[in-house]
A and B are shown apart, each in its own frame.
Chain A
């Protein structure tokens, strides 16, 4: 399957658009359907498509194991970290209104964007990790 020229060409054309769509879903989470979880899954599916088209080893070079292991934890840490930052500013855990952005509404808004970003990063790297670990045995 790796040497299929149609698959490789289509994948090459599709990947930038899939990634762009993932960023769009991430950024528009609060005004349209979608959010961090969906964006993460779409982001990961781009790398899975690369793996199916050109092989796992080459795809893994694009999203290295060291980086994806790190970003797995980083996403969750951003989420929980925002929760602890709100404690430092005198609020409850995950009470975004207490974040230092002026008003409570603004804090809520930016806090939500922050945790959505954390969810997106975590889900994307988790999906990539699961795929590359499960499908590791022999190359396609």
Chain B
């Protein structure tokens, strides 16, 4: 029930974010969207993901977008599509949504313990991670130990982002050097 309400809220906020002409409002809506997404993750018992969503999605990324907004025009330019082209984005969205709905038919029931995802490596992690890594939090032991390569890649991606921003945006004026 609460899940359904949260998901309904997400849809409403997403539509509001698209409809807002003031980009600052759009950014606010996106931050609120992330906050509700964090609640959905919590409801699904994915607390680590919820934590990240709340800190990054609802917090820092909104600030980054507002900071980027100081470099550009705050209001969206009103460029209307004409003729049949007007309905093209709607058609793309509708077809994608139809495909996604079709895909959910094959999915196992929510919280089904017999679902394939609970039969693969998850039992191994639940059974062995504590005495193999000494960490009670299975998510952390998977991220840092069993899937350490992925996290190294993730950290490299974040590092690359900083390097790109420095290369593109750092001023090299004589008076600032």
Contacts and interface: CB of A to CB of B under 8 A. Distances in A.
Interface in A28-83: 29-35, 37-38, 41-42, 44-45, 48, 52, 69, 72-73, 75-76, 79-80, 83
Interface residues of B, number: 45
Contacts of A130: 64, 161-162, 165
Nearest to B152: A79
A108 B55 contact: no
Interface of A: 25, 29-35, 37-38, 41-42, 44-45, 48, 52, 69, 72-73, 75-76, 79-80, 83, 93-94, 96, 105-106, 108-109, 111-112, 115-116, 118-119, 122-123, 125-127, 129-131, 133-138, 140
A93 to B, nearest CB: 8
B162 A119 contact: no
B49 to A, nearest CB: 9
B159 A76 contact: yes
Interface string B118-142: 0000000000000111111101110
A115 B161 contact: no
A113 B55 CA distance: 21
The 7 closest A-B pairs by CB, nearest first: A109-B134, A135-B67, A30-B135, A126-B162, A33-B47, A112-B144, A94-B148
Contacts of A122: 155, 158-159
Nearest to B143: A35
B60 interface: yes
